[in-house]
A = this chain, B = another copy of it.
Amino acid sequence: MMDVAQHAGVSGQTVSRVSNGHSNVDPATRQRVIDSMRALGYRPNSAARALRLGRFRTIGVIMFTLRTFGNMRTLDAIVTEAARADYSVTLLPVRAATMDQVSGAYSRLSEAALDGVIIIFEADLLDEAKFTLPPGLPVVLIDSDTGDEYTVVDTDQADGARQATEHLLGLGHRQVWHIAGPESSFAAVRRAESWRRTLREHGIEPPAALHGDWSTESGYRHGRTLGRREDVTAIFAANDQMALGLMRALHELGRDVPGDISVVGFDDLEEAHSFWPPLTTIRQDFDEVGHQAIRKLLAKVHSEQEENEKIIVPTRLIIRESTAPAKAAAP
């Protein structure tokens, strides 16, 4: 900075003012400084700036894996939204649920240059991790369980599962089976609970849920089982990938979708409309989740005095060709 100042024949402070776009600088001087910055290839040192200001203009995102569609889309939305506010996003991966890993993330976290963090995290792991979150660091949780301890942005999983189930019931199906996600997933548990509740509200006793692990493979496995049962006519899978595996199993078993069995997924993958048949599913609004998460987090960062709140982002049923009215039942 001093080099630029000398080159332009001004003081360092004036350079600082130009580089921060402050008002009280003579246009001629400003131009001279800008030219000098160009000439000398000056880049402000963000470490010094952060040190001086106590702010980093960076937020951290803690997540287990990038390999799921939902996490990726959420991250994408967060990054986009953060960039709009001129914040950078730093990724803090946590590989596994071991205590080692969590404290590893902690040591990185505690040293990281962050103004706040967004956590996309299965609930049960948060219990271990929360002890180690640096105090005073603003936090927003996405799709996770918590008391009033944090601000949470939450997709309306329950309503999505209800819509899926009622869609199938509305088509005349007498029972809806469910391929759930892993029991360790908060989202999966809520989808399963809502499915169960919705059936009961319609006077139907739900069968046992089959638990998968979100993978197509697990959907396929359960599909091999369900597909052999003549009484199964409607299946709600807790995500699109399991629905895909499920449909593959049904194809192999010669069961027609939707002729024999209707299938609903959850997520609305980019590809879902090109599955065979195109998949009826529940669309999540990841962009909105990311948007709200950043909005709330930055509010906390700037004002220090934000109440914790819970934001619910709605889901929407997308009807395609994998669902059809139930065949008339034998009287």
Contact = CB atoms under 8 A, between A and B. Distances in A.
A274 B66 contact: no
A43 B274 contact: no
B93 A79 contact: yes
A195 B275 CA distance: 27
A49 B276 CA distance: 55
A80 interface: yes
Q: Which of A113, A215, A245, A273 has the most CB of B within 10 A?
A: A113
A111 B275 CA distance: 44
A179 to B, nearest CB: 13
A256 to B, nearest CB: 12
A91 B79 contact: yes
Interface in A66-120: 66-67, 72-73, 75-76, 79-80, 83, 86, 88-93, 95, 108, 110-113
A219 B270 CA distance: 13
B216 A112 contact: no
Interface of A: 41, 43-51, 56, 58, 65-67, 72-73, 75-76, 79-80, 83, 86, 88-93, 95, 108, 110-113, 134-135, 215-217, 219-220, 241, 244-245, 247-248, 251, 270-271, 273-276, 278
